[in-house]
Amino acid sequence: MENETGAFHPKGVVRPRVQVEEQIRAAILSGDLPAGHRLQSEAELSRLFGVSRNTVREGLRSLETQGLITKIPGAGGGSFVQRVDQQSLSRLLEDSVGNLIQLGRISVDELSAMREYLEVPAVRLAAQNRTDEELETLRAIIERQASLPHSELSDAENRKLNLDFHHTVAKASHNLLLNTFVHAMHRVTESAQYAPVPHSEGHAAWESNVRHHTELFQAIEARDPDAAEAVIRVHLNYIEGRMNRAITADLNS
């Protein structure tokens, strides 16, 4: 039985759940099932594949875990194909790592080490590969950060600018996969990094952040990967200290 994008059919040589998962995954990755496409109902897929509805449900659950589909409940809901690109991979990584942190499976030290493994090569590549347009974007972000009226690290606009700065640096590496991982890890550490602090400490943290960003920008502008690495290591050590203090304060509250 054919649907509008191709044929799903029973394959007796593999486990029932696997045949559902593999055929739908192949259709998504080939583009036969485009982003936003609504899959047939579980009952219809069950008929097309020649398996039980429970088997179809298991296959769809696996595809959802992989970030390939999303399930929306309700009368107008169903299983919809997700966009497969850098942003979807980043969100999947962010959610998965965030869950592991909440479960206590990943420590701050492990997370900080991973950021170092990712961001040190990212800034070195950015210093080598950045374009003039990316450099001007970084310059504009720093200028806006330095002119913030509240001068607080936890200020909402500063938080956005901070993410934009690190994402632009990672993008300037011109390594798409590295950029994706840096993006995800940075968002995972965001909440702990901006834990509430007294105004004086928040202002000092803002000053340190702007100084580190400025120094990193200057190294990237000069196409000096060694200087860029030195700055990012100082910056990441600083962030790790803030996260540890935030977690300690949370445990003692």
pTM: 0.63
Give the percent of the chain with pLDDT over 90. 37
145 and 200 assigned to the same domain: yes
The amino acid sitting at 55 is: T
Domain boundary among 81, 113, 131: 81
Q: How many CA atoms lie within 13 A of 46 on its CB side?
A: 10
pLDDT, position 2: 46
> Does 149 or 92 have the greater pLDDT score?
149
54 and 109 assigned to the same domain: no
Mean pLDDT (whole number) for 182-207: 67
> Does 248 or 76 have the greater pLDDT score?
76
Give the percent of the chain with pLDDT over 70. 75
Domain at 69, CATH number = 1.10.10.10
Q: Which two tokens stand for residue 219?
A: 């190294």
Alpha-carbon distance of 149 to 164, in angstroms, equals 19
pLDDT, position 134: 97
Residues 6+ apart with CB under 8 A from 183: 86, 90, 167, 170
φ, ψ for residue 31, nearest 5 deg:
90, -5
Domain count, the chain: 2
Q: Which two tokens stand for residue 29?
A: 């990755």
209 and 195 assigned to the same domain: yes
Q: Which domain holds residue 178?
A: 87-252
pLDDT band at 108 (very low <50, low <70, confident <90, very high): confident
Q: How many CA atoms lie within 13 A of 126 on its CB side?
A: 31
Mean pLDDT (whole number) for 150-177: 85
User: Rounded to 5 degrees, what angle do the CA atoms 116, 121, 123 make?
Assistant: 95
pLDDT, position 227: 98
pLDDT, position 1: 41
Alpha-carbon distance of 253 to 196, in angstroms, equals 13
